[in-house]
């Protein structure tokens, strides 16, 4: 059983240092008792005071669904190499603006311009690659709407990240898991971009460039408890050096008809609860997010474990990664939050503590000032 008195001593004696060891974390996932779980929840709520649970009102823009990766759990990828046209994108942005959205989530399959047909479509629009097209769309977003771009499009190198920082309030890439073993499993064996070495390098490069960043774990894709814990500690290690990770998503795998992993079981609510508890204890200064559309029945349970962000929620566009799971209405999220004595608060795609010239490009920072969004 967890020694709660010892943990409390660690909390107060070692501020700034991880309050739980790898060994303790692995043992907790392997064999936590009811008392252990309740003790940790009590510890979290006594020492990580929250007044608000935040969310980002967004539009989801999938520029292309073709991807070089073929993940065993993915339903986003399509063989059809199509590309959204500028007028389609701008219409969504303008409609989202009227609905009060403040985040434009731009995404597409990894390295889509390796596909010859997409390359030709880009050429017909006057672009030599997808990132040139993306940059222009995001610059248009900043100049013509009240939305701020956030990009999540797979592996990017240092120079590509540097270019996109100019027009992005934040960026993201799911680590999913730090285990190289998973590259030989049904989850990732046909997905070169899921190599954890590449993903860790990109997250570090974002830190070097001071890009406010989102990452996270995908739970239930064949990983071990040790691999979950090692992945959380890897994120902590990167954050401790660069301080740029604003939120970590703990996302539950959901089986879908037709995917290679359709017969895999999703993680249980208790497994998710335990991972969230560990994420909060290990990643103390980072917001912990869960997707509310994947956790409608269990979301409140996870708030008890320290979750403080619902992530992006759209009144206009669906979740193209999980199209079967509709977004909850904002009022539903409000009710779920307030029932626990917390308040729901809308945020920008960049967290308040990163709104400065140190972290944002002049374009993005000036946009936030112009809109009056800077918190004093």
Cβ–Cβ < 8 Å for 181, 197: no
pLDDT of 185 over the 90 cut? yes
Residue 66 placed within a domain: no
Residue 52 placed within a domain: yes
pLDDT digits (tens, 9 = 90+) for 49-66: 899 999 999 999 999 999
pLDDT of residue 48: 87
Number of domains in the chain: 1
pLDDT of residue 325: 74
- Percent of the chain residues past pLDDT 70, beyond the cut: 95
pLDDT of residue 322: 83
Cα 357 to Cα 347: distance, rounded to the nearest angstrom: 19
Overall average pLDDT of the 213-233 stretch: 98
Residue 92 placed within a domain: no
Residue 100 placed within a domain: no
Burial of 116 (0-12, 13-18, 19+ CB in 10 A): exposed
pLDDT of residue 120: 97
Cβ–Cβ < 8 Å for 288, 239: no
Would you state the structure tokens that stand for residue 297, as one six-digit string?
């029945």
Overall average pLDDT of the 76-82 stretch: 89
Which is higher by pLDDT, 309 or 49?
Answer: 309
Q: Which domain holds residue 176?
A: 45-57+170-371
Q: How far is CA 82 from the centre of its chain?
A: 25
* CATH at 51: 3.20.20.70
Partners of 104 in the beta sheet?
Answer: 59, 149
Residue 9 placed within a domain: no
pLDDT of residue 16: 47
pLDDT of residue 14: 41
Q: What is the DSSP string of 185-248?
A: STTTTT-GGG-HHHHHHHHHHHHHTT--EEEEEEESSS--HHHHHHHHHHHHHHHHHH--EEEE
Rg (CA), the chain: 20
Q: Binding site annotation covers 71?
A: yes
Would you state the structure tokens that stand for residue 50, as one six-digit string?
């929250």
Residue 270 placed within a domain: yes
Cβ–Cβ < 8 Å for 29, 284: no
Task: Cite the DSSP H helix spans in 112-178.
Answer: 116-124, 130-144, 158-165
Average pLDDT, the chain: 93
Q: Binding site annotation covers 67?
A: yes
- Is residue 308 very low, low, confident or very high in pLDDT (cuts 50, 70, 90)? very high
Residue 313 placed within a domain: yes
- Percent of the chain residues past pLDDT 90, beyond the cut: 87
Is the dihedral angle over the CA atoms 4, 6, 9, 11 positive or is it negative? negative
Residue 69 placed within a domain: no
pLDDT digits (tens, 9 = 90+) for 104-124: 999 999 999 999 999 999 999
pLDDT of 19 over the 80 cut? no
Cβ–Cβ < 8 Å for 134, 122: no
Overall average pLDDT of the 125-146 stretch: 98
pLDDT of residue 375: 65
Cβ–Cβ < 8 Å for 313, 327: yes
Q: Binding site annotation covers 74?
A: yes
């Amino acid at each position: 059983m967890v020694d709660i008195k010892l943990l409390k001593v660690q909390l107060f004696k070692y501020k700034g240092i991880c309050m739980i060891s790898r060994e303790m974390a692995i043992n907790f996932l392997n064999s936590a008792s009811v008392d252990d779980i309740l003790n940790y929840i009590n510890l979290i709520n006594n020492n990580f005071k929250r007044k608000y649970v935040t969310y980002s009102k967004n539009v989801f823009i999938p520029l292309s669904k073709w991807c070089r990766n073929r993940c065993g759990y993915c339903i986003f990828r399509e063989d059809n190499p199509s590309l959204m046209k500028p007028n389609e994108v701008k219409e969504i942005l303008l409609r989202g603006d009227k609905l009060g959205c403040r985040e434009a989530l731009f995404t597409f399959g990894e390295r889509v311009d390796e596909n010859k047909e997409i390359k030709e479509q880009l050429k017909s629009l006057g672009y030599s690659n997808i990132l040139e097209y993306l940059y222009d769309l995001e610059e248009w977003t900043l100049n013509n709407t009240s939305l701020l771009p956030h990009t999540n499009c797979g592996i990017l190198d240092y120079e590509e990240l540097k270019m996109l920082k100019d027009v992005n309030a934040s960026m993201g890439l799911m680590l999913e898991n730090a285990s190289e073993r998973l590259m030989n499993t049904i989850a990732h064996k046909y997905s070169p971009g899921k190599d954890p070495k590449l993903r860790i390098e990109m997250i570090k490069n974002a830190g070097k460039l001071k890009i406010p960043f989102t990452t996270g774990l995908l739970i239930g894709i064949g990983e071990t408890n040790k691999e979950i814990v090692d992945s959380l500690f890897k994120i902590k290690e990167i954050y401790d050096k660069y301080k740029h990770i604003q939120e970590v998503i703990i996302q539950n795998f959901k089986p879908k008809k037709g995917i290679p992993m359709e017969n895999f079981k999703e993680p249980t609510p208790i497994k998710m609860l335990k991972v969230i508890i560990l994420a909060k204890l290990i990643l103390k200064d980072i917001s912990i997010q869960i997707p509310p559309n994947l956790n409608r029945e269990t979301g409140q349970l996870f708030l008890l474990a320290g979750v403080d962000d619902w992530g992006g929620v759209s009144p206009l566009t669906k979740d193209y990664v999980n199209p079967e799971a509709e977004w909850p209405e904002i009022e539903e999220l409000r009710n779920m939050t307030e029932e626990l004595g917390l308040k729901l608060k809308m945020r920008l795609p960049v967290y308040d503590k990163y709104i400065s010239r140190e972290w944002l490009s002049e374009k993005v920072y000036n946009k936030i000032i112009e809109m009056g969004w800077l918190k004093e």
